[in-house]
Amino acid sequence: MSEARTARRGRGGGGAARRAERTAVRIEAAKYIERNIPDLEILNEEALQIIEANAETVLEEIGVNFVENPAALDRWRAAGADVEGERVCIPRGLARELCKTAPSQFVQHARDPNKSVTIGGRNLVLAPVYGPPFVRDALGGRRYATMDDFEKFVKLAYMSKWLHHSGGTVCEPTDIAVNKRHLDMLLAHMTLSDKPFMGSVTEPSRAQDSVDMAGILFGKEFVAENTVMTSLININSPLTFDSTMMGALEVYAANNQAAIISPFIVGGAMAPVSVAGTLTQVLAEVLAGVAYSQLIRPGAPVIFGAFVTSIDMNSGAPTFGTPEAAQITYGAGQLARRLGLPYRSAGSFCGSKLPDAQAAYETSNSLNMGLLSGVNFMLHACGWLEGGLVASFEKFVLDADQLGALHQLAKGVDMSETGQAMDALYEVGPGGHYLGCAHTQANFKTAFWRTEVLDYKPYEQWEEEGARDSVQLASLRVEKLLNDYQKPPIDPAIEEALRAYVAEKKASMADAFT
């Protein structure tokens, strides 16, 4: 594929490197998706205007809370909002006006410049699952995640052709103290991968550590001038902005680092049980959050986020891959485009406890809608299981394989003479077959997306080989990728400096586990 880039293991000078190269494993990395197909727009102009007007009403008449954050209240007051206690009521139009300084797209630089990503426009950047405290694989079952698991997921993301981003908390390394684990996680992303990554948001000081470590990796001046991290700032829906997340946002915005401003909504609990009502709340929350980022630093890069699921009214459990979530995701994409902001939503969402048919239906529903709703940054694009409680090794590679299909679909239809294939139609004619014709011979290698994990074998062969299901085939692929993994080259002095930073920081703190 033309947009594939190839890295070889063991780059660097000397005979050892050349020997390594001879036995090298090709590690391919596709460019982020540049859509050549349209978005699906399910809301008409009238519906969009109603939702936009209602969101302004929410901001003006109901307002939002900025909790335990007097400086934020001062900023809002200075900007012209009505502040009473922690409640900020934002006059009609003010938030939207403030959002105008946010860029419609931005570059997030990667350590390998070939892997830098442009977030916004017609692009789609794919990043792995974020946040699960548990991991699961076929062999070990479900268990608390550790730093060892974390590193494995970073390696799998590095090895995946279709992931453009290393992500952030690919799982929670629960064996490391809460106040220290962000350091180990950053170190893993920075040294085990050369793809772009996310910073810590669990405390403002940890956001600052992220900025400081990025300064070591990229050079302090480079970081001052460029965006090298995109981090996840959740809004405490409904309509609440807590001081931890806002503190992290303040650090990132001040340093010109990107933030996803993302309502976190289980519909029916944190938002009304209706699509239009939820979209209204999502828009109001994002307007307030993005406006606040621009109060910190006009021009700071931000993303319109929407993490939205519905609820099972029987059990109260969040549900995934549902039609209501799809409608909200499509609608929020339209609202984001009208605001001129990059859009984050969708992912490999599922409620299933196992990487079974349920998981795949739910995930595929969400991945397809992510592509067609115009998402620019898709967090959780692979590996999500059990409502996000679990990162699944097998599902990680199964989902990542499906991401390849999204790349191919997004390319659109080749209408060149080769694409039209009239020569093939003339050559073959009625009753013939195309397997051997010149057009097929010339084009078959690149014509179709190819899976790396699904089974297409004849039934008899499949049965002889053990009648393996998707999970068994995925286990083999996880094993192979981890065996083939080799660390991308890094300046040893930089790695040394990063390790020293982490060691020093850790030495300055007692372990905290809450």
Neighbours of 358 (CB within 10 A): 15
Interaction of residue 359 with a copy of itself, rule CB under 8 A: yes
Size of residue set near a copy of itself by CB under 8 A: 124
Q: Which of the ranges 4-12, 173-181, 201-209, 275-283 carries the binding residues for a copy of itself, by CB under 8 A?
A: 275-283
Interaction of residue 467 with a copy of itself, rule CB under 8 A: yes
Q: Residue 186 or residue 235: which is nearer to a copy of itself going by CB?
A: 235
CB of 355 vs a copy of itself, minimal distance in Å = 5
Amino acid 44 reads N
Q: What is the rounded CA–CA span in Å between residue 189 and residue 168? A: 8
Q: What residues from 59 to 88 belong to the interface with a copy of itself (CB under 8 A)?
A: 61-65, 87
- Tokens 């992500």 locate to 167
Q: Residue 198 or residue 271: which is nearer to a copy of itself going by CB?
A: 271
Q: Residue 16 or residue 62: which is nearer to a copy of itself going by CB?
A: 62
The only residue of 459, 493, 507, 512 in contact with a copy of itself, by rule CB under 8 A? 459
Q: Residue 56 or residue 184: which is nearer to a copy of itself going by CB?
A: 56
The only residue of 93, 412, 496, 500 in contact with a copy of itself, by rule CB under 8 A? 412
Neighbours of 475 (CB within 10 A): 17
Q: What residues from 284 to 313 belong to the interface with a copy of itself (CB under 8 A)?
A: 310-313
Pick the closest to residue 106 from 366, 376, 309 (CA basis).
376
CB of 351 vs a copy of itself, minimal distance in Å = 5
The only residue of 71, 299, 432, 503 in contact with a copy of itself, by rule CB under 8 A? 432
The only residue of 254, 269, 494, 497 in contact with a copy of itself, by rule CB under 8 A? 269
Would you say 123 and 108 are in contact if contact means Cβ atoms under 8 Å apart? Answer: no
Would you say 331 and 42 are in contact if contact means Cβ atoms under 8 Å apart? Answer: yes
Counted residue by residue, the chain has a size of: 514
Q: Residue 12 or residue 323: which is nearer to a copy of itself going by CB?
A: 323
Q: Residue 94 or residue 188: which is nearer to a copy of itself going by CB?
A: 94
Q: What is the rounded CA–CA span in Å between residue 247 and residue 408? A: 40
User: Which pair of tokens denotes residue 496?
Assistant: 């040394």
The only residue of 193, 200, 257, 280 in contact with a copy of itself, by rule CB under 8 A? 280
Interaction of residue 513 with a copy of itself, rule CB under 8 A: no
Q: What residues from 23 to 62 belong to the interface with a copy of itself (CB under 8 A)?
A: 37-38, 40-43, 46-47, 50-51, 54, 57-58, 61-62
Interaction of residue 4 with a copy of itself, rule CB under 8 A: no
| CA angle (267 as vertex; 266, 268 as ends), nearest 5 | 115
Q: What residues from 107 to 166 belong to the interface with a copy of itself (CB under 8 A)?
A: none
Helix (H, G, I), strand (E, B) or coil at 444: helix
Burial (CB < 10 A; 0-12, 13-18, 19+), residue 185, is buried
Q: Residue 46 or residue 221: which is nearer to a copy of itself going by CB?
A: 46
The only residue of 17, 146, 264, 434 in contact with a copy of itself, by rule CB under 8 A? 434
CB of 365 vs a copy of itself, minimal distance in Å = 6
User: Which pair of tokens denotes residue 362?
Assistant: 């739910």
CB of 262 vs a copy of itself, minimal distance in Å = 17
CB of 221 vs a copy of itself, minimal distance in Å = 41
| CA angle (85 as vertex; 79, 88 as ends), nearest 5 | 35
Q: What residue spans of 256-392 are helical by DSSP H?
A: 275-296, 323-339, 357-372
Burial (CB < 10 A; 0-12, 13-18, 19+), residue 491, is exposed
Q: What is the rounded CA–CA span in Å between residue 418 and residue 413? A: 11
Would you say 146 and 397 are in contact if contact means Cβ atoms under 8 Å apart? Answer: no
Q: Residue 7 or residue 406: which is nearer to a copy of itself going by CB?
A: 406
CB of 444 vs a copy of itself, minimal distance in Å = 5
Pick the closest to residue 2 from 30, 26, 25 (CA basis).
30
The only residue of 418, 464, 476, 491 in contact with a copy of itself, by rule CB under 8 A? 418
Q: What residues from 469 to 498 belong to the interface with a copy of itself (CB under 8 A)?
A: 469-471, 474
User: Which pair of tokens denotes residue 69?
Assistant: 């954050």
